[in-house]
Amino acid sequence: MAQVSSILGPNFGRKIIRAAVSVIGLLILRKMLGMLPMLKNATALGDTLLSPLVLAYAVVDTVILLVLLDFGMGLGRDIQAKDQKLADVGKIVSRLTLIVVLGLAYSAYEVPAACFFVDRTDLINLGKNTAATNVGDFMRIWGQMLSQAGAVAVQNATGDALVAYQRLAVAAFRQPPNIYGWTFLVLIAIPVIGIVPLVTRNLDTLAEVLAQAASSFQDRAGATAPATVSGAPSPVEKASSNGHGITPSDAVEKLFKLKSLLEAGAISNEDYDQQKQRILRCTMPDSTAAMNPGDLQKLKALYDAGGLTEEEYAAQKRLLLEQI
């Protein structure tokens, strides 16, 4: 079974950060649009209850859904391309993405659809049709108020008043036969029906992938904050907490072992860079410690292998020479 990092690809972290930043930015834009007076206080468009603000929200919501759909579908394709054994897992991810996006779309487009298909006449007629018990007391009371106010008042409503009419339109839109709700139910049922046999057929594979993901997360957390046996802090943590650093010789030895782990594939480049910076930050000169000539050779080998930058190599070399 391929490792989780190889399944998701080296750019998975970058992709998820990019998608998250895009969604957060769009949500901020949506909030800012709701604060604009020219949109918030605008009247409805034409004979509908649609306002410019509702349309602006719908446009932003559409872009958010496209970002989520692109991320999820791309992730599913990456998994399918990385390992043929996990082709079904990639399909499951793609179908789950479609289900989530359709569920969000139902909520995002309900208000625009209600404002477009429920006109002022429909709202006013609610108060007149008192025999329709399924309408509800709240809607009948609102309908009676609307019949007194008239269509012109509804058309000229702005701000909170227009929002109240739009909420009433949504309530009327949800009344039977509720074609909008049934349409989305059918659309969501299609990928759900397709995903059930995939999940049933790949329960063991999914369990193994989830277990590997949890193990990978624990390994990364352990690499960031390593500890010795019996829960004791590592020498680097001891030196840092006591206000004393490790000697340059010890630092070279730790860096050399860390580089060996990287070359063996036991740790990632990110893990190596994080631990290297921790060791370099804790390295301090020690006049009482004697320098081993082999330390300079190991340090030069690290530099030649790309384990240290030129500045890091020069700094560590200077610290070693100070111990002569």
The residue type of 307 is G
pLDDT bucket at 150, cuts 50 / 70 / 90: low
Residue 177 has what pLDDT?
A: 87
CA distance 213 to 143: 55
- Which residues fall within 8 angstroms of residue 265, CB to CB, at 6 or more apart? none
Assigned token pair, 270: 């990110």
- What percentage of residues in the chain have a pLDDT greater than 70? 71
Q: Where are the domains of the chain?
A: 4-118+164-197, 234-321
Inter-residue contact 206 to 7 (CB < 8 Å): no
Inter-residue contact 126 to 173 (CB < 8 Å): no
pLDDT at position 113 over 80: yes
Assigned token pair, 29: 């834009």
145 φ, ψ (degrees, to nearest 5): -65, -40
Taking only the tens place, the pLDDT of each residue in 21-40 is 999 999 999 999 999 999 88
Residue 195 pairs with which residues in a beta bridge?
Answer: none
- Which residues fall within 8 angstroms of residue 285, CB to CB, at 6 or more apart? 247, 248, 319, 322, 323
Taking only the tens place, the pLDDT of each residue in 193-213 is 988 888 888 787 777 767 766
Q: What is the pTM of this model?
A: 0.58
Taking only the tens place, the pLDDT of each residue in 230-283 is 444 444 444 444 445 678 888 888 888 888 888 887 888 888 888 888 888 887
Assigned token pair, 230: 């019996």
Residue 175 has what pLDDT?
A: 82
CA distance 262 to 236: 19
- Which residues fall within 8 angstroms of residue 260, CB to CB, at 6 or more apart? none
pLDDT bucket at 82, cuts 50 / 70 / 90: confident
- Which residues fall within 8 angstroms of residue 122, CB to CB, at 6 or more apart? 169, 172
**End-to-end C-alpha distance for the chain, whole angstroms:** 51
